[in-house]
Amino acid sequence: MTETTHDLSAIVKANDIRGVAGEQLTAEIARALGAAFADVLEEPELIVAHDMRLSSPELSRAVIEGAVRRGAIVADAGLSSTDQLYCASGLHRAAGLMITASHNPARDNGMKLCLPGARPVGRDSGLEDVRRGAEAYLAAGEIPVRGEGRSERIDTLEDYARTLHGLVDLPAGRRLRVVVDAADAMAGLTAPAVLGPLEQVELIELHFGLDGTFPHHPADPLRPENLRDLQKAVRREGADLGLAFDGDADRCVVLDETGTPVPPSAIGALIASREIARARAAGEERPRVAVNAVASRHVHEVIAAAGGEMLLTPVGHAGIKRIMAEQDAVAGVEHSAHYYFRDFFFADSGMLAALHVLAALAETDGTASALVAEHSPYAGSGEHNFPVDDAVAATARVRAHAESLPAARIDELDGLSVHHWDEHLAPDERWWLSLRSSQTESLLRLNVEAQERTTMEQVLDQIRTLVLGVADAAESTPEPASAEPTPETVPAAVPANAPEVSPAQLPAGASGADVPGWVRAALRCPDCGGELHDVDAALQCTDCGRVHAVEGGIPVLIAGRAEAPSAD
């Protein structure tokens, strides 16, 4: 008889658990994970909550059942945002488990775990133990009863709203019109509780129905197409601000009064400056702020100018929370619109971030665009994701390029970061980039920032080509909407009936190579390393005379493919 093995490594990630509900993450698996989490806890108290996904109630019940069998005393919080669960964990000094897949598609679900006081649980801080314990229960086919576990209901929303109201004071005198797009997700529960009672806020609701099918748009506010409804509403309502939340409402994206999205790093800089000022007013000499390796350079500059100290961290909530707690940092900033607060148990909260933005705007007579203008001085690419077969080799190509630049500084805190930004460099030579592997997919994630937009675009194009290779990069470059269809090109051959022209130098022509100009200038013959000049439907080496075809806009530069021409 063959023993059934259970491997949960595909769904247990670095910072949380995620998979397709009913397939990768079933009630049976959730029950085993709940039991295994109860096993690693030093105290039996556990708060379990869930979002509005269709699969969430069943998974929540299964987690509670498994935890209770292992002696946990479970407080069932029901529908909740993730930061609402963190708040409950902090206030009650109990562990927490949130059933959610955040911004993932409707068919997915997952879990976010925390220890008492909202302390994070990641791969290096207990999540691997939970995975192994759950696999053991699944293999055994049973979860033995231990102790006298039980479950009871708990309402956490009122305490959550009161806690946030106590952390940020909105000045009287200015009433702000604010459109909130809840994406049919958990901000539909928390925004009325937190923003609704405020006299300084006129709350305009958009997509507030709790519907796990996401009928209006996916709950991922970092994707521009998911902000279109909010942009229209902000303009239509003449609103001062727009707020877009993700599925579990722990992230918030801000739109100004024109409907223009504000870069998350700009919001991070604003929050960092406010929290540093508050801490210094309370007597702290040099408050610390944790910033992940992908956030804008401007965040670093704001922290220094405000009299704070920056702590550079890898991407991911488990790591940044741990570093914040160890260093007693007042705030944390991630490029992904996650903002962390010491006074909120070192946890992230999209709603608390929104309150900071509202307070900062209410303190002025100006617009949101004017408020954040000073916090977006540089040109950023946003995050570009590239599918690759060999991330190590692609990263090595970028590293080798960076090592050839005398002014470049390299660090590997989180993937590969290259800094080409010093005071002695001209403004159009100042840039930095981050290239790191996805923790969940076969992707490389690239972010580029520069002092000038043209530089950012050039570096982005250059690194993109290095990551994908010249041929792949050319294939994946979208054609302009107005471009005419390109006729099919035919591989060039040396004309036999043109004795008057030496094969070593064909007449100039349109090669059809569809690559950026700087890439074209860098291309060399794969056989001898000579420079290439454009001829009809091909590139020809000026040294050895070999002719390399251009097929579909792509230079076919493969050593040994082209014959060396005769000299006569």
The residues annotated with a catalytic role in the active site are: 102
| Dihedral angle sign, alpha carbons of residues 17, 354, 320, 67 | negative
Nearest-10 crossing angle of helices 56-69, 27-40: 40
End-to-end Cα separation, the chain, in angstroms: 76
Q: Which long-range contacts (CB under 8 A, 24 or more apart) does 368-374 make?
A: 368/240, 368/241, 368/254, 368/255, 368/256, 368/257, 368/262, 369/256, 369/257, 369/258, 369/260, 371/270, 372/254, 372/256, 372/262, 372/266, 372/267, 372/270
CA nearest neighbour of 543 among 528, 558, 521, 565: 528
- Give the whole-angstrom CA distance, residue 534 versus residue 512: 8
Under a CB-based contact definition with an 8 Å cutoff, are residues 254 and 242 in contact?
yes
Which DSSP string corresponds to 11-63?
TB-SSSEEEEBTTTB-HHHHHHHHHHHHHH-SSSEEEEEE-S-TTHHHHHHHH
Query: Strands 150-153, 443-450: parallel, antiparallel or unpaired by DSSP?
Result: unpaired
How far, in whole angstroms, is CA 137 from its chain's centroid? 33
Could you give the count of Cα atoms lying within 13 Å of 231 in the half-sphere of its Cβ?
Answer: 12
Q: Which two tokens stand for residue 324?
A: 């914040």
